[in-house]
Amino acid sequence: MGELRLMKGNEAVAEAAIRAGCDGYFGYPITPQSEVMEYLMAEKPFERTGMVVLQAESEVAAINMLYGGAGTGKMVMTSSSSPGVSLMQEGISYMAGAELPAVIVNVVRGGPGLGTIQPSQADYFQAVKGGGHGDYKMLVLAPASVQEMCDHVKLGFEKAYEYRTPVMILSDGAIGQMMEKVVLFDQIPRRTDDEIIKQCPWASNGRPKTRNHNIITSLDLDPAGQERVNLKLQAKYKVMEQKEVLYEEIQCEDAEYLFVAFGLSARICQKATDLARAKGIKVGLFRPITLFPFPSIEVSNVGNRVKGILVVEMNAGQMIEDVKLSVGCKIKIEHFGRFGGIIPSPDEVVRALEQKIIGG
């Protein structure tokens, strides 16, 4: 077993990046995720593994540093919170277009605009439907614990390279700020230059005489060429939909009703599940772990066995669209949400189930 520690979610992200063999972190401070860079600066991975940690002059600079680093095959990460991630959207779209691997962590806070520094899940659409321009997707992971904040960094880098795609970890202020037990995986050595050349034959990191220039770009002015790029991306997303879906079912076997929730909301719904069952309501919880690819078939399988579904999100109703597309219109599907940094209490969620689904 790996090393056991009590850590904040943000700290776990930072330590996991070092241990995953990350080559560079570029970021700009913003609450509630500033501990990521604070931890890295205190931990000095530039002495531990040689990893670069750099405070950029802005989020726009940070994401473009990612573009540059990833273009050379280096393993790079950034983190920010909602307003900062909005600034990064152009860069993320360029990275998706140029097929560059990277991990981007969004510790979501309430919006719109500067909003608040309290937790929220209002960036689901931005993460899953493409906040930037063009037909692109990212693999989107939704951790619900500090342990998953750690594990998703490692998994995120693996998938980023497997698919040559940016990967987003969609967390929130509560998961970032809270401390839980975490078992850290052992240090993975940073790749040598030779290993990077072998793993990333596409990377622009010095041309040997044996091949032509590698060009990292998202630009192709010839529409036929640009359509080929799009077809290649779409084919890649199809494979991700078939192979990369992750989810968790809790007490679904005998459920008559179902909560669907991700991240922090799923933790609250788990407590709500226990409270409701103590009152004799047989409810289960379906937790998507990947938001893209969305576990459509899996939620439909469970959803079509129950009498009604309550989708609980800290937003005004975003993931519910994907739940409805997956499950169809045969059963009642309602949304319950709190916004602007308010976290719903487990009691409130049970009441919403009783009012909107059971009584409604």
Partner 1 sequence: MTEEIIIAGFGGQGVLSMGKILAYSGVMQNKEVSWMPSYGPEMRGGTANVTVIISDERISSPILNSYDTAIILNQQSMDKFEKTVKPGGLLIYDPNGITRFPDRRDINIYSIEAADEAGKRGLSKIFNMIVLGGFLKLKPLVAPEYIHKGLEKSLPARHHALIPENEKAIELGKELLQAIHLVN
Chain residues binding partner 1 by CB under 8 A are 4, 6, 31-32, 116-118, 173-174, 177-181, 264, 267-268, 270-274, 341, 343, 345-347
Asked whether 77 and 23 are in contact (CB, 8 A), the reply is no
Minimum distance, C-beta of residue 343 to partner 1, in the bound complex (Å)? 5
φ, ψ for residue 108, nearest 5 deg: -70, 140
What separation in angstroms does the CA of 235 have from each of 25, 231, 241, 242?
30, 6, 10, 11
For 108, residues 6+ apart whose C-beta sits below 8 A from its C-beta are: 81, 82, 119, 120, 121, 122, 123, 170, 171, 172, 173
Smaller CB separation from partner 1, 173 or 288: 173
Residue 159: closest CA among 169, 145, 172, 146: 169
Smaller CB separation from partner 1, 65 or 174: 174
Minimum distance, C-beta of residue 27 to partner 1, in the bound complex (Å)? 18
Specify the amino acid at residue 337.
Answer: G
Smaller CB separation from partner 1, 32 or 337: 32
Smaller CB separation from partner 1, 100 or 353: 353
Structure tokens that stand for 307 in this block = 């009498």
Minimum distance, C-beta of residue 248 to partner 1, in the bound complex (Å)? 12
Minimum distance, C-beta of residue 223 to partner 1, in the bound complex (Å)? 49
Smaller CB separation from partner 1, 62 or 268: 268
Minimum distance, C-beta of residue 113 to partner 1, in the bound complex (Å)? 16
Please give the Cα distance from 358 to 340 (Å, whole number): 27
Smaller CB separation from partner 1, 65 or 260: 260
Minimum distance, C-beta of residue 263 to partner 1, in the bound complex (Å)? 12
Minimum distance, C-beta of residue 29 to partner 1, in the bound complex (Å)? 14
Dmax over Cα atoms in the chain, in whole Å?
A: 72
Asked whether 86 and 30 are in contact (CB, 8 A), the reply is no
Q: Which helix (H) or strand (E) holds 61?
A: helix 59-71
What is the DSSP secondary-structure string of 313-355?
A: ESSSSSHHHHHHHHH-SSSEEEEEE--TTPPPPHHHHHHHIII
What residues pair up with 311 in beta bridges, in sequence order?
A: 260, 335
Query: 240-277 burial string, b = 16+ CB within 10 Å, else e?
Result: bbeebbbbbbbbbeebebbbbbbbbbbbbbbebbebbb
Smaller CB separation from partner 1, 52 or 343: 343
Please give the Cα distance from 93 to 137 (Å, whole number): 9
Minimum distance, C-beta of residue 348 to partner 1, in the bound complex (Å)? 8
Smaller CB separation from partner 1, 118 or 165: 118
Smaller CB separation from partner 1, 42 or 215: 42
Please give the Cα distance from 264 to 245 (Å, whole number): 19
Minimum distance, C-beta of residue 152 to partner 1, in the bound complex (Å)? 18
